[in-house]
């Protein structure tokens, strides 16, 4: 642990004072509709946060979805809490010293991790850009590329699902995740497994077995890497009871809302694997703390995804480059979801990996034309106290 330093002047930085924050709503059509146990999406309605400091600026993506089906947050609610309760806490007479202080500034507001994480990401990006340093280096990454993984939604038929998995494998993906729910599970998983006996395959239920935990046992015989979030978000004991009845490792997503929640889940035996999403835990710095909890305990982690544009996807690649991320994440190329991304597209290498960005900040290079074409609205929130 670091010992608290004696108060003194902040480290010199070219970041300068925080002038204000822009909230920008964007809409990107998906290449194909995305169907899951928690709803369908055909356009990604996303919220970007741009922090403007005197010496640098940075971008963060709020991963809240359009509807509160994955968690309580939703994009319009996130914009509202940012406007009313969060942004002003970064301004005022006492200027924000560093990204590491964002979470403490925002802590008086309960909940809203995705809204908070977006601000912290934008401050981290600005801070790293000012320092000419990559986010990956800032977070403590050890890898220069990560194994990609692709998530496949619920499709209209088993044949269509197998066809999509065939296509993903042909594109070069070496790990596939299928969405499952009671009634869309054994038959589709068996068909994909028969077509791809050696594929690294896993499933995500988004809590859809909460009313029928025993039905999860039927998924135990397919050599799956893991079964993600079969039961309700708050049902750690239920997951622990289920975990001893299945051989396949259980993985938690929605349940892991902080490093403390990760410790609780692991102490109870509720899971053997954790999906880390910075938005869900309130920021990339807390995500690193979840990673550290898992690394200390030898628990496998992987980086989740939330249909991010290139802005959030680049930052996720930086996180996934930390060493305890021993399983491939939901980290696919831009063209998995978007024909045209907001950034220079993130590409899949021939060996099924994706390069971790090395440029300053998240490394995302926003394409101004694409950004303008996708923008629905922008708001500017000035924060600099009058001199
Ligand atoms: O549960 O992991 C999830 C997308 C949106 C919300 C929740 C989830 C997902 C995914 C997609 O599974 C992962 C991706 O972005 O590739
Ligand atoms: Mg999930």
- Say yes or no: CB of residue 332 within 6 Å of ligand 1: yes
Cα-to-centroid distance, 239 and ligand 1 (Å) = 20
φ and ψ of 104, to 5 deg: -65, -40
Superfamily of domain 12-132+367-382: Enolase-like, N-terminal domain (3.30.390.10)
- Say yes or no: CB of residue 306 within 6 Å of ligand 1: yes
Which of 308, 380, 365, 311 shows the shortest CA–CA distance to 75? 308
Which of 118, 129, 134 shows the shortest CA–CA distance to 60? 118
Taking only the tens place, the pLDDT of each residue in 208-262 is 999 999 999 999 999 999 999 999 999 999 999 999 999 999 999 999 999 999 9
Taking only the tens place, the pLDDT of each residue in 319-344 is 999 999 999 999 999 999 999 999 99
Exposed, middle or buried: residue 210 (CB in 10 Å: 0-12, 13-18, 19+)?
A: middle
Q: In whole angstroms, give the CA distance from residue 266 to residue 200.
A: 24
Cα-to-centroid distance, 307 and ligand 1 (Å) = 6
Taking the model in full, what pTM does it have?
Answer: 0.95
* pLDDT-based confidence at residue 13 (cuts at 50, 70, 90): low
The predicted structure's pLDDT at residue 7: 46
> Ligand 1: which residue has its CA nearest to atom 14?
305
Which of 368, 305, 360 shows the shortest CA–CA distance to 333? 305
- Say yes or no: CB of residue 204 within 6 Å of ligand 1: yes
| Domain range list for the chain | 12-132+367-382, 137-355
Taking only the tens place, the pLDDT of each residue in 41-93 is 999 999 999 999 999 999 999 999 999 999 999 999 999 999 999 999 999 88
- Say yes or no: CB of residue 330 within 6 Å of ligand 1: yes
- Please, are residues 305 and 125 in contact by the beta-carbon 8 Å criterion? no
| Fold type of domain 137-355 | TIM Barrel (3.20.20)
> Ligand 1: which residue has its CA nearest to atom 5?
306
Cα-to-centroid distance, 21 and ligand 2 (Å) = 30
């Amino acid at each position: 642990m670091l010992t608290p330093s004696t108060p003194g002047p902040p480290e010199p930085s070219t970041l300068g004072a925080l002038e204000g924050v822009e909230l920008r709503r964007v809409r990107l059509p998906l290449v194909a509709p995305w169907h899951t146990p928690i709803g369908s999406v055909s356009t990604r309605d996303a919220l970007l946060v741009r922090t403007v400091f005197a010496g640098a600026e940075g971008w963060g993506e709020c991963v809240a979805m359009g509807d509160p089906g994955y968690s309580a947050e939703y994009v319009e609610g996130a914009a509202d809490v940012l406007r009313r309760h969060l942004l002003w806490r970064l301004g005022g007479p006492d200027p924000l010293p560093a990204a590491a202080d964002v979470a403490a500034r925002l802590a008086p507001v309960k909940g809203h991790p995705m809204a908070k994480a977006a601000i912290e990401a934008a401050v981290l990006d600005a801070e790293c850009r000012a320092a000419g340093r990559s986010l990956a280096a800032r977070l403590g990454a050890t890898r220069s590329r990560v194994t990609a993984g692709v998530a496949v939604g619920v499709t209209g038929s088993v044949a269509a699902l197998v066809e999509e998995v065939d296509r993903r494998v042909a594109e070069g993906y070496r790990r596939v995740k299928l969405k499952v729910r009671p009634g869309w599970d054994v038959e589709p998983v068996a068909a994909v497994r028969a077509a791809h006996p050696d594929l690294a395959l896993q499933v995500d239920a988004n809590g859809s077995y909460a009313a029928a935990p025993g039905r999860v046992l039927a998924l135990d015989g397919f050599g799956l890497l893991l079964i993600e979030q079969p039961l309700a978000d708050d049902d750690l004991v239920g997951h622990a009871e289920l975990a001893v009845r299945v051989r396949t490792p259980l993985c938690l997503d929605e349940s892991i809302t902080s490093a403390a929640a990760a410790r609780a889940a692991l102490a109870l035996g509720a899971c053997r694997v954790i999906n880390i999403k910075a938005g869900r835990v309130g920021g990339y710095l807390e995500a690193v703390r979840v990673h550290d909890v898992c690394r200390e305990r030898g628990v496998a982690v992987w980086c989740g995804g939330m249909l991010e544009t290139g802005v959030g996807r680049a930052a996720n690649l930086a996180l996934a480059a930390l060493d305890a991320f021993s399983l491939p994440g939901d980290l696919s190329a831009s063209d998995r979801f978007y024909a045209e991304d907001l950034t220079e597209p993130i590409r899949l290498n021939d060996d099924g990996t994706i390069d971790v960005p090395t440029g300053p900040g998240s490394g995302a290079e926003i394409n101004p034309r694409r950004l303008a074409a996708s923008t629905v609205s922008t708001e500017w929130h000035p924060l600099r106290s009058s001199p």
